């Protein structure tokens, strides 16, 4: 249940089921109540009918009871009661039964006794109630009415009916509810899932749009503001405002880096020219010469760093356009290969350069491509101990061209692999023995940018101690097309 949609569905189902249960229970109780009321009315009507009949009969016959023992209602009067479908009992003034109808006779003796004891002697007011009978008889609802228009012979009538008879309707209701609740549960689950999905759709769309803003370069994107004017619209507006602020901060940061490295370049050049001049000055003492030499080395490093920073800052700003032209990549590879061979010789490494026999025409910025290849080759040489080998290969693969730089060097730990293209990132010197190797950690960041600006990709495979293999894949001229000016 880790999605909002799932949670909404769950709570919707719970809420609906609870509502149905509460509603059903209320309905059931109400039905039961009103069924009992209806029964009471029926019993009261029947009791009233019996009383009136007794009164009428008394007026006509002036005696209703046969004088035998036990005393009984006269046959003629009693015959009229046989049609009453509920239980009917007639009592004399002392509370003794004068008559019981057929349904009463079918009860067991103890139950009849209990019913017969209901009114007691000389009742004066009507009573309605529930009588609990002995044995396994269900409870009875009864209405008792005093009879006062039949002289001294008749005292009361009682009409009764089983409560279970009226409970039948509500019990039915209960049964169908038990059957219907699981169905409601399933139906509400499906409906809830569908409704929650609909409600969440704009959120998902918003999420997708926000997800597309992956890095500093896609901050110009904005999410679509829904026209609904609801909370989501507000969220979209807020997000857009946040993107705008972020974009502004990012561009200020980039502008600052670009400006700073640009501004630093001029004094650096002046400084370098001064040092160079002093180096060749005939009067400079030898101990100063040594210091000047170190200074020049550091100045050159600083200059390289400024160049790299400026390149990356301009690339971020989109102000580093590629000068694209058709070029035979073989020439480029061979050219870098020559430099590499010199480097390899210095470091006691074997070097192999392999290119296809026919021209490999690709639309590239030759200067940048040169830089890319040189970065990879200098890394390979730098991170391969003496006695190892380095390979530079140019391969074709359908619509793609691959530049491969492989070495037998120290390799890269798998935990480091995701970081090697990050700016200023260098492997932990303690782990990978890069400590004695100079560098700032910008080479691969620039390499990656150059590959991607050409519409290509760069990937690396490496195992510590087993060497590394960098592969740059570029689309051929016209295929896919490099993102010029990116």
Ligand X SMILES: Nc1ncnc2c1ncn2[C@@H]1O[C@H](COP(=O)(O)OP(=O)(O)OP(=O)(O)O)[C@@H](O)[C@H]1O
Interacting residue ranges for ligand X, rule: CB under 6 A:
375, 379-380, 383, 407, 409-412, 420, 425-427, 432, 434, 439-445, 468
Shortest distance, position 400 Cβ to Mg ion, whole Å: 25
CB of 384 to ligand X, least distance (A): 7
Contact 456, 472 (CB under 8 A): yes
- Quick one: what does residue 432 bind among ligand X, Mg ion, none, with the CB cut-off 5 to 8 Å set by partner type? ligand X
The encoded tokens of residue 403 equal: 């530049």
Report, in Å, the least distance between residue 232 CB and ligand X.
Answer: 43
59, 153 Cβ separation under 8 angstroms: no
Least Å from the CB of residue 380 to ligand X? 5
Residue 320 interacts with which of ligand X, Mg ion, none, CB < 5 to 8 Å by class? none
189 binds, among Mg ion, ligand X, none (CB under 5 to 8 A by kind): none
443 binds Mg ion (CB under 5 A): yes
Q: Which SS3 state, helix, strand or coil, does residue 394 take?
A: strand
Q: For Mg ion, which is the closer residue by CB, 115 or 309?
A: 309
Closer residue to Mg ion (CB): 142 or 470: 470
311/379 with CB nearer ligand X: 379
Two tokens, residue 158:
């009682």
- The whole-angstrom separation of Cα 101 and Cα 98 is 10
Binding range to Mg ion, per CB under 5 A, among 97-105, 311-319, 429-437, 442-450: 442-450
Q: Applying CB under 5 A, does 409 fall inside the site for Mg ion?
A: no
Q: Which helix (H) or strand (E) holds 244?
A: helix 231-280
Contact partner at residue 420 from Mg ion, ligand X, none, CB < 5 to 8 Å by partner kind: ligand X
Q: Is 57 in the site for Mg ion (CB under 5 A)?
A: no
**Closer residue to Mg ion in complex, CB, 265/437:** 437
C-alpha 156: how far from its chain's center? 74
Sole window of 192-200, 233-241, 294-302, 436-444 interacting with Mg ion (rule: CB under 5 A): 436-444
Which candidate, 311, 350, 318, places its Cα nearest to that of 443? 311
- Shortest spacing between CB 476 and Mg ion, in angstroms: 27
- Residue 440: which of Mg ion, ligand X, none does it interact with, CB under 5 to 8 A by kind? ligand X
Residue with smaller CB distance to ligand X, 56 or 304: 304
Q: Which residue is nearest to Mg ion (CB)?
A: 443
DSSP, res 409: S
Closest distance to Mg ion from the beta carbon of 375 (Å):
6
Pairing of strands 389-397, 350-354: parallel
State whether residue 56 is helix, strand or coil.
helix
Half-sphere exposure of 51 (CA within 13 A, CB side): 19
Distance CA 390, CA 413 (A): 19
Choose between 235 and 374: whose C-beta lies nearer to Mg ion. Answer: 374
State how far the alpha carbon of 293 is from the alpha carbons of 232, 298, 304, in Å. Answer: 64, 9, 17
Span near Mg ion by CB under 5 A; candidates 72-80, 223-231, 329-337, 438-446: 438-446
Q: What's the min distance (Å) between Cβ of 299 and ligand X?
A: 16
Q: Nearer Cβ to ligand X, position 57 or 375?
A: 375
CB of 267 to Mg ion, least distance (A): 26
Q: Scan residues 329-388 and list those touching Mg ion (CB under 5 A).
A: 379
Residue 284 touches which of Mg ion, ligand X, none (Cβ within 5-8 Å per kind) = none
* Paired strand residues for 325: 364
CA-atom Rg of the chain in angstroms = 52
Instruction: Specify which residues 65 forms β-bridges with.
Output: 73
State which H helix or E strand residue 455 sits in: none
Q: How far is CA 148 from CA 101, 116, 125, in A?
A: 21, 19, 10
Q: Which is nearer to ligand X, 277 or 433 (CB)?
A: 433
Residue 73 backbone phi and psi in degrees, to 5: -70, 145
Tell me the closest approach of the beta carbon of residue 416 to ligand X, in angstroms: 7
Instruction: State residue 84 phi and psi, 5-degree precision.
Output: -70, 125
The token pair at 472 is 């740059």
Q: Under the rule (CB under 5 A), what is the footprint of Mg ion?
A: 379, 443
């Amino acid at each position: 249940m880790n999605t909002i949609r799932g949670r909404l569905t769950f709570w919707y189902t719970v809420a609906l089921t609870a509502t149905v249960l509460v509603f059903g229970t209320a309905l059931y109780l109400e039905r039961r109540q009103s069924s009992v009321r209806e029964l009471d009315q029926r019993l009261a009507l029947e009791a009233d009918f019996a009383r009136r009949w007794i009164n009428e009969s008394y007026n006509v016959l002036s005696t209703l009871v046969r004088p035998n023992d036990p005393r009984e209602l006269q046959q003629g009067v009693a015959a009229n009661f046989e049609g009453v479908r509920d239980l009917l009992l007639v009592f004399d003034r002392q509370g003794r039964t004068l008559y019981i109808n057929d349904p009463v006779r079918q009860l067991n003796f103890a139950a009849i006794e209990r019913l017969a004891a209901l009114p007691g002697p000389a009742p004066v007011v009507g009573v309605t109630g529930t009588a609990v009978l002995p044995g396994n008889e269900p409870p009875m609802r009864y209405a008792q009415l005093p009879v006062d228009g039949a002289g001294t012979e008749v005292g009361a009538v009682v009409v009764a009916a089983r409560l279970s008879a009226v409970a039948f309707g509500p019990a039915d209701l209960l049964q169908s509810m038990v059957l219907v609740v699981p169905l409601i549960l399933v139906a509400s689950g499906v409906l809830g899932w569908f409704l929650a999905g609909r409600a969440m759709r704009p959120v998902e769309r918003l999420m997708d749009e926000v997800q597309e803003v992956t890095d500093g370069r896609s901050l110009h994107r904005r999410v679509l503001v829904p026209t609904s004017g609801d909370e989501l619209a507000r969220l979209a507006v807020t997000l857009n405002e946040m993107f705008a602020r972020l974009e502004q901060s990012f561009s200020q940061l980039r502008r600052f880096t670009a400006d700073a490295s640009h501004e630093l370049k001029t004094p650096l050049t002046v400084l370098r020219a001064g040092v160079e001049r002093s180096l060749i000055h005939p009067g400079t003492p030898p101990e100063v010469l040594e210091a000047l030499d170190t200074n020049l080395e550091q100045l050159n490093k600083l200059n390289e760093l400024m160049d790299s920073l400026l390149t990356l800052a301009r690339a971020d700003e989109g102000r580093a356009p590629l000068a694209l032209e058709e070029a035979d990549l073989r020439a480029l590879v061979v050219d870098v290969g020559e430099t590499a061979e010199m480097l390899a010789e210095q470091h006691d490494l074997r070097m192999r350069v392999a290119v296809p026999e026919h021209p490999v025409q690709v639309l590239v910025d030759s200067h940048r491509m040169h830089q890319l290849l040189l970065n990879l080759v200098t890394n390979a040489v730098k991170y391969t101990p003496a006695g190892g080998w380095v390979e530079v290969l140019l391969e074709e693969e359908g619509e793609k061209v691959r530049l491969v730089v492989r070495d037998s060097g120290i390799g890269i730990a798998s935990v480091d692999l995701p970081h090697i293209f990050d700016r200023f990132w260098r492997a932990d010197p303690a782990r990978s023995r890069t400590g004695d190797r100079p560098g700032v950690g910008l080479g691969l960041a620039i390499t990656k940018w150059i590959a991607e600006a050409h519409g290509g990709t760069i990937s690396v495979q490496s195992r510590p101690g087993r060497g590394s293999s960098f592969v740059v894949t570029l689309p051929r001229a016209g295929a896919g097309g490099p993102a010029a000016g990116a």
